[in-house]
Amino acid sequence: MKVRRLTMTNELPQLILRNVVGPDSSWFWTMAQGVAVTLTLILIYRQLIAQRFANILSSVATLDDRWNSTSSG
C-alpha cells in the first residue's frame, strides 16, 4: 500500500467518507457490529443480574409476610 500526503483540503473528508461508506469500509462496519454485539451482551447480562436481585427481594418479602402472618395468628 502506497502512503501519500494529503495535498488538498477536501481529500481528508473524501478519505474518511470512502473508509466509512465506500469499498474500503468493511473493517469499519465489522468493528461497529462487534461493538454493538458486545454492548448488547453486556446490557443483557446487567438486566439478568437486576432481575435476579429483584426476584431475591420478592422472595424475602414473601417469606417475611408468611413469617409475620403465622407468628401473630
CA distances from 62 to 11, 36, 46, 53, 56 (A): 67, 39, 24, 14, 10
Q: Is 70 left (phi over 0), alpha (psi -120 to 50) or beta?
A: alpha
Q: What is the pLDDT of residues 13-70, one digit of tens each?
A: 887 777 777 777 888 889 999 999 999 999 999 999 999 999 999 999 999 999 999 7
